[in-house]
Amino acid sequence: MIRPYASEHLTPLIVEDPERATALRTEAESLPQLPVNSAAISNAVMLAAGYFTPLTGYMSAADALRVGREMHTEAGLFWPVPILNQTTDASAIADADRIALCDTNRDGNPVFAIQQVTSVDSLPEDVFLQLVEQVFGTIDAEHPGVATFIENGRTIIGGPIEILDYSYFPQEFADTFRTAVQIRAGIESRGWNRIVAFQTRNPMHRAHEELCKMALERLDADGVLVHMLLGRLKPGDIPAPVRNAAIRKMVELYFPENTVMITGYGFDMLYAGPREAVLHAIFRQNCGCTHMIVGRDHAGVGDYYGAFDAQTIFDKGVPEGALDIEIFRADHTAYSKKLNEVVMMRDVEDHEMEDFVLLSGTRVREMLSQGQSLPKEFARPEIAQILMDYYQSL
């Protein structure tokens, strides 16, 4: 199986020793407590689950700034986006060496991690906005990732963490949330050697289904890891439970047995386009995947990124040899009326736009809200029904 990123072994930061966990919870009672935002919580969940191997905690401001400029930490590790504990007010922790982090995504704000504080830095606004632009390619507050990053604050608390739980994800998504450790074990138990990862924050329509099948065939892969984001999305995106139900129904009915693993990870979407695509590749390598599908506008939003910027960054921004995982480069995929099958548009040069079945996200939402069936060439009827039920319940 492919090795983890920049490490011989996964380094999950979850505290598994019950005695250590008890000691940390007791210690937390006497430590300054800091309620942390959803982004910092999801970063901790990814660290806990081994997805962010080989990181040992939250990055310092110095690391964040270098990652922004060069996509490397101060120690020289290639990394595409800062992994931070940001706050708007660090006065509650004063000069503490250790602090208890409280989960604002759950009732009662329980302590979920202990952080050793190695740095606390408040970035000047101009420096902070430069970092925002480097990571997201824009400082436009209409960009949902930018808006969240700015809202989370300019004060950065760096240092190693020990994490006590995976927040709300195992409870709300018991059948789907899995750690990188568990995914590797699942791949090994299936006897898979070549595994292609498919990233999704949306339900999978017919084109997504066929794209996964194309990758399976063209890469001679053993299986697909359908890896769905379970954390926060922008307003208007379809909630994780609905996506989960739709994807499971699609795999049950339309994929050969033992060719798909359906799992999810506890991360909030950044919508950072190219840089987030690289982050996706890193943690899919940590899951044991040998390949990852990168399609049109991967991890993008609106018109902030070029259609294939998330592919070209692997040529221009990733140092040679930094990643072991390989990229399967996909074009826009749609149903061809001429050929009566789903194709990649680049593969059919004799087609015009009217030869494809294409629906915008807005049109899909309108049709479902009005109880109109989606074309069978666009969505499987069973999946369309799940989505229709959701939209009509709003």
pLDDT tens, position by position, 343-354? 999 999 999 999
**Domain around 46:** 18-167
Burial status of residue 352 (CB atoms within 10 A of its CB: 0-12, 13-18, 19 or more): exposed
pLDDT at residue 360, as a whole number: 85
Question: 128 and 110 in one domain?
Answer: yes
pLDDT at residue 248, as a whole number: 96
Question: What is the count of structural domains for the chain?
Answer: 2
Question: 318 and 195 in one domain?
Answer: yes
Inside any domain, residue 8: no
Q: Phi and psi for 92 in degrees, rounded to 5?
A: -65, -20
Boundary (domain end) residue, out of 150, 167, 184: 167
Strands (E) across 130-266 are located at 155-163, 195-200, 223-229, 260-265
CATH number of the domain bearing residue 94: 3.10.400.10
CB-based burial, 154-184: b 16+ in 10 Å, e otherwise: bbbbbbebbbbbbbbbeeebeebbbbbbebb
- Which of the residues 66, 154, 184, 201 is marked catalytic? 201
Question: 225 and 129 in one domain?
Answer: no
Question: 223 and 150 in one domain?
Answer: no
- Which of the residues 109, 190, 194, 202 is marked catalytic? 202
Question: 378 and 282 in one domain?
Answer: yes
pLDDT in tens, 236-253: 888 889 999 999 999 999
Boundary (domain end) residue, out of 167, 191, 208: 167
Residue 373 vs residues 66, 199, 381, 383, 387: alpha-carbon distances, Å: 50, 26, 8, 11, 10
Q: Is the pLDDT of residue 311 over 90?
A: yes
Element holding 100 (H helix, E strand): strand 98-103
pLDDT in tens, 52-107: 999 999 999 999 999 999 999 999 999 999 999 999 999 999 899 999 999 999 99
Inside any domain, residue 321: yes
Average pLDDT over residues 364-368: 90
Inside any domain, residue 9: no
Inside any domain, residue 7: no
Q: Is the pLDDT of residue 1 over 90?
A: no
Read off the pLDDT band of 234 (50, 70, 90). Answer: confident
Inside any domain, residue 130: yes
Inside any domain, residue 13: no
For residues 32 and 99, the answer to whether their CB atoms sit within 8 Å is yes
pLDDT at residue 281, as a whole number: 98
- pTM of the model as a whole: 0.96
Question: 296 and 217 in one domain?
Answer: yes
Inside any domain, residue 3: no
CATH number of the domain bearing residue 188: 3.40.50.620
For residues 320 and 32, the answer to whether their CB atoms sit within 8 Å is no
pLDDT at residue 11, as a whole number: 98
Question: 190 and 161 in one domain?
Answer: no
Question: 313 and 198 in one domain?
Answer: yes
Inside any domain, residue 86: yes
340 has catalytic annotation: no
pLDDT at residue 236, as a whole number: 82
Q: What percent of the chain stands above pLDDT 70?
A: 100
Q: Is the pLDDT of residue 365 over 90?
A: no
Boundary (domain end) residue, out of 117, 141, 167: 167
Question: 98 and 129 in one domain?
Answer: yes
pLDDT in tens, 170-188: 999 999 999 999 999 999 9
Q: Is the pLDDT of residue 108 over 90?
A: yes
Read off the pLDDT band of 322 (50, 70, 90). Answer: very high
The mean of the pLDDT values for the chain is: 96
Average pLDDT over residues 13-39: 98
pLDDT in tens, 327-345: 999 999 999 999 999 999 9
202 has catalytic annotation: yes
Question: 159 and 51 in one domain?
Answer: yes
Question: 139 and 34 in one domain?
Answer: yes
Other beta carbons within 10 Å of 289: 29
Nearest residue to 34 via CA among 80, 73, 72, 85 = 85
Question: 196 and 161 in one domain?
Answer: no
End-to-end CA distance of the chain: 44
